[in-house]
Structure 1
Amino acid sequence: MKNSAHVRKASDVEKQFWLLDQQGKSTAYNIVSAFWVAAPEVGRLSQLVQSVMTDWGIGTQVYRLENGELQCVENACALATTTLNLDVECFETSAEASFRELCETKFDIENGPLARLVSIQAPQAERAWFGIIVHHIAIDLRTKELLASEIERRWTAPEQLYSLDETYDEFVQEHSAWLQSDKAERARNYWKSELEQLTTSAELAQSVSTQRSEGGRVEFILDSGLIDKVTKFAGTSKIDPFLLYFSAYQLALSRLKVADQLSIGVPLSNRFGHKFENSIGCFVNTLPIVGNLDWEASKDEYLGVVRQKFLLANRHQALPVFEIKRLLSSAQSSLFNFGFTLEPPMTLNLVGTHTQSIPFYNGSAQLDVFLRGWEESGQMRFRIEYDEGKYSSDFSRRLASVFQLMLTGLIAEDKPLKQIRYLPAEDESVIEAANCTQGPVQAEANLKDAFEAQVKANPHAIALVSARRQLTYAQFDALAARLANCLLQQAKLKPGSIVGVYSDRSEQLLVSIYAIIKAGCAYLPLDVDAPLERTRYMLQQAQASLVVTTTANHSQLESLAVECIVLSSDYENIEQYDVQLPPIEVPEESPAYVLFTSGSTGLPKGVVNSHQGIMNRLYWMQEYFQVQNDVILQKTPVTFDVSVWELFLPLQVGGTLAIADHNSHKDPYQLCRQIETFGVTFAHFVPAMLAVFLGVEIERPLPLRTIVCSGEELTKELQGRFFRKFNRISLYNLYGPTEAAVDVTCWKCEPNDQRSFVPIGKPILNTQIHIVDKQGNAVPIGVPGEIMIGGVQVADGYINNPALTDEKFFVDEFGRGRLYRTGDLAQWDQDGQIEYLGRLDFQVKINGVRIELGEIENSILTLPEIKMAVVTYSKDNGIGLVAHYVTDKASITEETIKRHLASRLPPHLLPKAYVPLVGMPMTPSGKIDRKNLPYDSINMPTNTVPTEFAPGSTERLVQQAWQSVLGKTDFASNASFFDAGGDSLKLMEVYQYLLPHLKRRIASTDMFAYPTIESLARYIDSDGEKSPDQDARIRNRAQKMRSAFKRPR
């Protein structure tokens, strides 16, 4: 019993709560107990509780900092008491609201008191509300239990006073001595080793604020049948139910946070065994239980690990949590953000009267997420308390569902953890509805029949239009048919063969592709700007023995020794062939086209897509967008998959295909003119190009009615810019890889949509999207996972590469059919829409072009003098692709590597900067540490030292434009824009910057012709007269860069 003031040193536990109070004085650490009691007894109960707490010094102490030492002054003040009399109809609701308001009142930890007793009554009410509010620094769970027992005892025997065991002062002294002992040192070593398991920050929440915000709660009760199973399993397995509940919580958090490493704070009694078991005060120490989950482990193995974790944590629980926090590495920002405990509310069984305990939540969050459980009337109740600034009620409800699914899985038969399914039923319903896409397809089963049906129906309608001329369906079909007969007769092609196409974008290119299709073959588009060795590899890998080319491009293929059909611009060399073809059957499962994409091995991989897949894609697009008499712009290079629907969709619906000039897809001004000239109503833009296109000043409304985007992320900001400029044009965001017939999801953009992101939408006709974890389990809504694609559009695989095909295309063990593993990260939202989150691997997209960094790395490593190579990409560093390499040969220079790569890779795969290293930075596990590669040593190539330009000169103007776009300050007058870190799209931004400042208008194409500050300034000042070529090497470099930024995938 404590009657007089007493000053003592504060314990380390009290110091922790004092520090928390100093940081924000949050009410999250107000410990609340509430009861309904018989109205006539509330006054007596209040006086009794006040007497016991005063005798025991609970809440009557204060804490003050004296000479750098935190001291506790016991019995420094009286308890606070509040009595309210409410005269309202809804007394019980009003009583709870009034009590909650009092709970939100902060305690003054320096002046006290640290406890408040509250009585709330109403006239005529049979029962009253009684509450106890105590700051956590003065009480813990065990002290609450002792307080309840003493209140019950004194209710019947008030004259008998309970004699307390060892005092808190004794605990402080003993604990201080323990901290200097060998046991404490062993505890420090243990906790240090535990924290080393967390290779990344333990703070996994998507923080929006450093201050704790208002707390929300979600409460749930376990099914009685599940409780019975838990009890039976615990008895059979000799494991405490507490460990089962904790394990289910840890697994649920791990799945929802996509983190195999997780730290959860668990309060431990910290009373030196039983020595201080019946002492009053706050002893509790909340310690991190670190989980490093192995999903391949069996459930019994996992539970054994958890049991061992708690045994060791209990053994070393006396080390203060703030001292453990000091052991964190610099990469870890917090010890834990999640908490768990089983803590029953305080109960009072008072003889002669009835009291009802109320599980009360004070509305403040101690951690990001805290799960509290307790047993009440034979039920297991749980409450998830969460920081509303970081998590939503949807997340918390989902956590509750996944917790119960994990608990059910843990007590089922012994299987690997990875086989525990955790998709809540309500989420499964949303996802199943999104994937319910079955529907009819077009009557014609292949591209050949669909086109020929339109020829028959609309022979005189305009099929093609270009700067050169226009062709009707009948005229175009006749040209394609003659060439098809040439292929069948001269080259002896068999239906199903793969035929290469090597041509600039032109009318001849389209005639070639359609001829191959009409011959029952599959076309393989080849890039005229790619190195010939790459072209040779593609032809060999695809086993394509024939290439259709044009007189303008044929000479480039002469060194490949491949058979060619050369198509002249006037088609004179195919006039002798008939326009009538023999009957040709094209099964829907036969290949329609082969597209090569970047490969991680250093070599591209050829994707084989069937007629069935692309026909489904085209039919969906026709129906969804109501495409009929539209004019569709074909501007995407045919080596990228968006070109496929541009090539075939308009001529399957009686529309018109407008052929953009070669390379005009990189010039927004040319595109704008062609859209106006051809009357284009339907077009595609990669978001990077759309951003530049929006900068073009448009004098009159464009004929466009629809723009679709795909190939890279469409940002919210870019969507906003679009609708501010075009309020009568519809915008759509599509997603899909080459391996699934172009696109598999679609979202119609809305200017007033409140999402913080632009979705990629839902699955389209006869396709399914499955978002799964590393083990292939479907993930809940809001949880990131890998996109798996199913349905008719999934490609046949990679041509003549069965090993890679088996790795990426597989029959799913969960009965979801044949799937393609994309490597893309995404998550579902509440409406069944999909948010794209990026890549899982080292694949990146630059201006919509899909690039495997491994392909560049492996190409560098083909130089025998290079020991190690890593390529990185960041659009934020102003550079882009950067090659880091290790060599011990002085003869290997940057220029050596550049020349080597230029002979093997297309321009868009060439790094912009090269960094020689003595050795690669490595992680503790022996992997290359990409995050610690030295970017500060990167030097962009320039031809001379930076040049100072005279103020007001044209050179100065161009330099300012470069600086604005590239975010740099120093450029040499004869440095190439592309070598300085620019690309084709950035060059268009420079063009837009310059236009308002020029006395005469220059063409956007001039920007490519004069890629240095010096040459462009001279041309601007020359009144349009072409200046002599100052640097042929730079001009050649510019030409290569123009071909680098082709349409996506």
Structure 2
Amino acid sequence: MTTPTIDDPAAGCHSLVLRLPGTADPDRLLSGAIPAPVRVWQTSVPTGADEPTAENRRRAEALRPIHAGAPPLRVVALRYADGAVDLVLVAVRTVIPPTVLRRIARLLLSGSGDDMPRLPAAAAARPGLGYRGGLEWGMGDPELRGAVGSARIDLTALGGRAERLLPAIALAVSRYSGGNRAELGVLDLDDVDDGTGEPIRVHPVDEHPESSIADFLHRFEKAPVTPQEPPPVGVILSPAFDEGGYTACLSPVFPLTIQLDRGSSYATCRFDRGIVDASVAERFCAHVAHLARQLADGTADRPLSELELSPRAEQVELLRAGGAGQGPRARGRIDRAFEEMAAQQPDAVAVQAGDERLTYRQLDDRADAVAAGLSTLDIAPGSRIGVCLERDADLVVTLLGVLKAGCAYVPMDPRYPAERLRFTARNAEMPVIITRAPEFPPVPGTRQLTPAALTELGAGRSTAGARPSAEGDDPAYVIYTSGSTGTPKGVVVPHRNVLALMGATAEDFAFGPGDTWTLFHSSAFDFSVWEIWGCLLTGGRLVVVPYWTTRDTEEFYALLAEQRVTVLNQTPSAFAQLIRHDLRVRGDLAALRLVVFGGEPLDVRMLAPWFARHPAADCRVVNMFGITETTVHVTAQTVTPREVVAGSRSVGRPLPGWSVSVRDEQGRVLPPGASGEIYVGGAGVAAHYLALPELTGQRFVVDELTGERIYRSGDKGRLRPDGRLDHLGRLDNQVKVRGHRIELDEIRTVLLGAPQVTAAAVVVDREQPDDPASSRIDAYVVLEAAADSAQVLTHAKAMLPDYMMPTTITEVAEIPLTINGKPDTSRLPDPRTGPTGASVPAPASDAPETSSGGVADVVLSIWSDLLKTPVRPEDNFFTLGGNSLLVVRVLAEMRDRNLPKVTPRQFYGHSTAAQFVELVRRLGEADR
């Protein structure tokens, strides 16, 4: 038995309200029967006993606790204007348990009673129970901590089988907790009657979907365990008090406490509103009653999985509240919508890339030329055309031209390794790849053309006769994302999805011809879809940011100020660097009116210094949750300093035309508060995965409740009572690293394909939880005797893009396994101090050795501080865990120490410490 630490004296008190006969004299009765003086406090209430004012006064007196040092029994007589008298008894339960309180009540009501125990003059210093901690799904308001709410559970439908209430509560707790192991606390006031304490028993709840009702009840009724601390949900079992209105605890013993009086037709739920929202508690009580009826009515062999937390009608209502069934989807094509915009403002600047400017008319004309060139190649409508170009004006022209030709573009980043490019080209069955990359690998049956050559082919030709359907059901693009099978998977997205996205956001975000956007992200990252078409379909000016400028925060910040950018789209990781630079230079970003976050979860606390300099009224900050399979964005949450202070995890409500729901492992709709998998429906759901019908069937499903097509995101979330969505991470082996969605299994599969690798494991570690720049991918491999980790590194570089490359590859003797046969990542060694010391070796350097002192000491100190490890001259920055974000940190720190300016491009070309020190020395000499 255990008595938890006491926080709240009200939790250890109980009360009873009695309606006395008009002739009763409580002073005389108590003084004659209880061997201790008990004072009766007389209070006049100037209303009738049945009026609301009287009820409020009774409730207030019945919930007023006894504090340490006061007598353990307080008696208040409330005398009403109509002559009625209520007696309110409040007592410390450990001193006056329910059995004694009943004897006192019978004495007062009948004038006779058993011998009363002697009461101490003062209550003990620990008058009752209390709780610490919270309840994950409670969704309470911290500002209301200590305020108590109440709800009722109707038991009449159980037909006298109230014993089903406890297992029903336990099952509801399990469902609300995501189907994981849960606990239900039980405090039975009949158990102890000697004043020694109040033991709490705990019933572990482990829901097995394959089990029957009988199996579940049998496991639940097994001997409960003694907890170290009381769980967040519990039941108080109290004796029935026919004598009056009994309250077993004046404040909740558990954050959510259900009082069940034996023999009563209802149970009372009382909860701390700082921990449990009132609407969540009321819905929870309704679900308990619904489950209890199913347990009472169900046969013993009925599968437990068939029991529903909520009625179907309520689930449908939740889906509608989440945006389901909002009406017809958008129609139309991206290229047609652009042509309409170009006709409205032909001379406005559409694209600016360095010194090159294209008006809407010029962009339209050049895209027509690309489409005409494609038409000469006898390419079937709907074909997938590869586009592998640097970020420049030709990239935007080419993407639009492919759409005008009735084809879908497949963007590929020129920096991807050759094997990944070759796989994408083969998998998408591209007849043509538009690229200027001389190293693009040859693919049989696929022709490679530069934008200039394609335009030349179409010179003098018209595409008017090849106009595709304007309905918008045709694919617009295929973007490849990381795949759990070890290979990337192509997501096919129709035109109408993109138009729906613009229609859902343009008015709210006030997009228009006065805006200047940046194209910051790779075209192979779906954030670029939002940047390009969000700008051009609303009449804005698109400033194309060169690759190396995206890697140089100082240059990018200067571009934002110079171009007077108004709409900026960033991953939180990238924006964190911009905030740091903004604090240092105090530059002019007055034109910036909107910042949109996407690509990875946002820790809103990082925005505190931004809001200190940029008021929310001047620059709106919006956090958007989205997935490639649901067309970039799904929800939107405007972030203000209030969200920053609260540490909010909300990503907002679904966009108009989109829908979200949270479901359990069986696909059942969960209520607000309960966490589960996020399902997305509506206008943004992609068509399918390319050439992966089985995976498409698993992830793109039809909702049996609405008949709509929905996407299983694999993300964990919960709905708030106000309809907003909290994003809680991933459910599977997928992670987000600096905005890129990565399947760790894909990296593992690549490693297993390396020669002489017999086993592998991949994990993501973030040394500093609040700093996305500290995220790194660590790989572990088991090698045959003749192999080394450098060979594995070479193999991985040939297959994986930079953002998926492990920071470390450590050789281990074996991959430790859990009892279930899965990799036990908690037992893997630190990658920098592995048992074989086999972290990826630094490449040999022909740079001169650095001498001690001066620039070398400063550089090595900066590297060591940021990499959290000692750095030697021969060490490679990226081998030691460096990444693009830490490059920016190094360069910023160097500027703060008045060292010469080094560009990110120079850094990547001099990545060993010795090379880098020599570069800094040369630049310093050139500056003098």
Question: How many Å separate the matches in 2 of 1:468 and 1:564?
Answer: 31
Alpha-carbon shift at residue 942 of structure 1 (Å): 6.5
Give the corresponding residue for 2:502: 618
Q: Do 1:879 and 1:912's aligned partners in 2 also have CA atoms closer than 8 Å?
A: no
Shift in CA distance, 900/603, structure 1 to aligned 2, threshold 3 Å: same
Give the corresponding residue for 1:479: 366
Query: 5 Å matches for 1:299-448?
Result: 301-303=212-214, 305-306=216-217, 309-310=220-221, 312-313=222-223, 324-325=226-227, 334=229, 336-348=231-243, 357-360=244-247, 362-374=249-261, 380-387=265-272, 390-411=275-296, 416-423=303-310, 432-435=320-323, 438=326, 445-448=332-335
Alignment of 1:104 with 2:66, yes or no, is yes
Q: Do 1:28 and 1:363's aligned partners in 2 also have CA atoms closer than 8 Å?
A: yes
Shift in CA distance, 530/382, structure 1 to aligned 2, threshold 3 Å: same
Question: How many Å separate the matches in 1 of 2:503 and 2:630?
Answer: 15
* TM-score, length-scaled by structure 2: 0.85
Q: Do 2:517 and 2:542's aligned partners in 1 also have CA atoms closer than 8 Å?
A: yes
Give the corresponding residue for 1:891: 786
Shift in CA distance, 575/338, structure 1 to aligned 2, threshold 3 Å: closer
Alignment of 1:82 with 2:39, yes or no, is yes
Question: How many Å separate the matches in 2 of 1:456 and 1:135?
Answer: 81
Where 1:371 maps in the other structure, the secondary structure is strand
Give the corresponding residue for 2:395: 509
- Residue 247 (structure 1) aligned to one of 167, 170, 182: 167
Q: Do 1:219 and 1:381's aligned partners in 2 also have CA atoms closer than 8 Å?
A: no
Alignment RMSD: 3.9
Where 1:986 maps in the other structure, the secondary structure is helix
Alpha-carbon shift at residue 123 of structure 1 (Å): 9.0
Alpha-carbon shift at residue 530 of structure 1 (Å): 1.6
Alignment of 1:36 with 2:10, yes or no, is no
Where 1:717 maps in the other structure, the secondary structure is helix
Give the corresponding residue for 2:652: 761
Where 2:787 maps in the other structure, the secondary structure is coil
- Residue 375 (structure 2) aligned to one of 476, 482, 488: 488
Q: Do 1:506 and 1:662's aligned partners in 2 also have CA atoms closer than 8 Å?
A: no
Give the corresponding residue for 2:345: 458
Alpha-carbon shift at residue 374 of structure 1 (Å): 2.4
Alpha-carbon shift at residue 745 of structure 1 (Å): 1.5
Alignment of 1:449 with 2:369, yes or no, is no
Alignment of 1:602 with 2:502, yes or no, is no
Q: Do 2:77 and 2:87's aligned partners in 1 also have CA atoms closer than 8 Å?
A: yes
Give the corresponding residue for 1:830: 721
Question: How many Å separate the matches in 2 of 1:803 and 1:652?
Answer: 35
Question: How many Å separate the matches in 2 of 1:563 and 1:135?
Answer: 84
Where 2:466 maps in the other structure, the secondary structure is coil
Shift in CA distance, 341/698, structure 1 to aligned 2, threshold 3 Å: closer
Shift in CA distance, 572/778, structure 1 to aligned 2, threshold 3 Å: closer
Alpha-carbon shift at residue 755 of structure 1 (Å): 4.6
Give the corresponding residue for 1:72: none
Alpha-carbon shift at residue 732 of structure 1 (Å): 1.6
Question: How many Å separate the matches in 1 of 2:216 and 2:589?
Answer: 68
Alpha-carbon shift at residue 906 of structure 1 (Å): 1.3
Q: Deviations over 1:310-332 (max 9, x none)?
A: 3x43xxx8xxx7xx45xxxxxxx
- Residue 230 (structure 1) aligned to one of 138, 149, 158: 158
Alignment of 1:773 with 2:667, yes or no, is no
Shift in CA distance, 151/1004, structure 1 to aligned 2, threshold 3 Å: same
Structure 1: gaps of 5 or more residues: 1-12, 55-78, 164-200, 235-240, 272-276, 326-332, 349-356, 1028-1049
Question: How many Å separate the matches in 1 of 2:110 and 2:381?
Answer: 98
Query: 5 Å matches for 1:697-716?
Result: 697-716=585-604
Shift in CA distance, 373/665, structure 1 to aligned 2, threshold 3 Å: same
Give the corresponding residue for 1:67: none
Give the corresponding residue for 2:570: 685
Question: How many Å separate the matches in 2 of 1:476 and 1:955?
Answer: 50
Q: Deviations over 1:142-199 (max 9, x none)?
A: 6666x3697489845x7x9799xxxxxxxxxxxxxxxxxxxxxxxxxxxxxxxxxxxx
Aligned positions, number: 881
Question: How many Å separate the matches in 2 of 1:464 and 1:675?
Answer: 15
Question: How many Å separate the matches in 1 of 2:384 and 2:755?
Answer: 35
Where 1:359 maps in the other structure, the secondary structure is strand
Q: Which amino acid aligns with 1:455?
A: A
Where 2:648 maps in the other structure, the secondary structure is coil
Give the corresponding residue for 2:876: 976
Q: Deviations over 1:905-925 (max 9, x none)?
A: 112111112333333333333
Q: Do 1:37 and 1:129's aligned partners in 2 also have CA atoms closer than 8 Å?
A: yes
Where 2:406 maps in the other structure, the secondary structure is coil
Shift in CA distance, 215/524, structure 1 to aligned 2, threshold 3 Å: same
Where 1:903 maps in the other structure, the secondary structure is helix
Structure 1 stretch displaced more, 833-842 or 993-1002? 993-1002
Alpha-carbon shift at residue 762 of structure 1 (Å): 1.6
Give the corresponding residue for 1:645: 530
Alignment of 1:738 with 2:628, yes or no, is yes
Q: Which amino acid aligns with 1:837?
A: L
Q: Deviations over 1:199-235 (max 9, x none)?
A: xx999758999xxx98654444455xx61x311xx6x
Question: How many Å separate the matches in 2 of 1:336 and 1:80?
Answer: 39
Where 2:665 maps in the other structure, the secondary structure is coil
* TM-score, length-scaled by structure 1: 0.76
Q: Do 2:172 and 2:284's aligned partners in 1 also have CA atoms closer than 8 Å?
A: yes
Q: Do 2:808 and 2:880's aligned partners in 1 also have CA atoms closer than 8 Å?
A: no
- Residue 185 (structure 2) aligned to one of 262, 265, 278: 265
Task: Give the fraction of aligned pairs with identical amino acids, expressed as a percent.
Answer: 23
Where 2:24 maps in the other structure, the secondary structure is helix
Q: Do 1:215 and 1:386's aligned partners in 2 also have CA atoms closer than 8 Å?
A: no
Alpha-carbon shift at residue 436 of structure 1 (Å): 6.4
Q: Which amino acid aligns with 2:387?
A: V
Alpha-carbon shift at residue 928 of structure 1 (Å): 2.8
Question: How many Å separate the matches in 2 of 1:539 and 1:842?
Answer: 26
In our comparison, the structure showing a higher alpha carbon Rg is 1
Q: Do 1:669 and 1:1004's aligned partners in 2 also have CA atoms closer than 8 Å?
A: no
Alpha-carbon shift at residue 944 of structure 1 (Å): 11
Alpha-carbon shift at residue 296 of structure 1 (Å): 4.3
Alpha-carbon shift at residue 361 of structure 1 (Å): 5.5
- Residue 205 (structure 2) aligned to one of 260, 266, 291: 291
Question: How many Å separate the matches in 1 of 2:460 and 2:58?
Answer: 95
Shift in CA distance, 956/817, structure 1 to aligned 2, threshold 3 Å: same
Q: Do 1:46 and 1:117's aligned partners in 2 also have CA atoms closer than 8 Å?
A: no
Q: Which amino acid aligns with 2:922?
A: S
Give the corresponding residue for 1:167: none
